Structure 1
């Protein structure tokens, strides 16, 4: 199964991923209508990004991200790496 991984340390806080998500899935242009949440970190100039479990995995956020901090990962392979594959 595929999922989204966001490298928050590379995030520039532009919120293009959130806006693309809101337009695609909720026909709305707003950060509150997205499956991706971007918040300003306690560290100046840094951001924290979270993908909600309700993400539809369309991966449009990967294509629109200008800092390439979002990637598609194979969840099964990640479980195998840490010995959680059953």
Structure 2
């Protein structure tokens, strides 16, 4: 047969209350740890989103620089075409 352990139930109401309060304190401590961990994760998420925001700003700036370069290249190409058309005429 297996060894069974029989737990005694507190008979005095004060004992039951004391046990319930200990369990409540343990649950509150566990909840406080979970909230602290959640705050830490929210802080990490904030840092990550700020990094993304910075990256997108840099990307947008790079695209703007690229657009200026493309516009300049297009103007140069059109000038060359006009020069060649003038030389052919």
TM-score w.r.t. length of structure 2: 0.19
- Greater radius of gyration (CA): 2
Q: Which has the higher contact order (CA 8 A, sep 6+)?
A: 1
Structure (1/2) with the larger helix percentage: 2
TM-score w.r.t. length of structure 1: 0.19
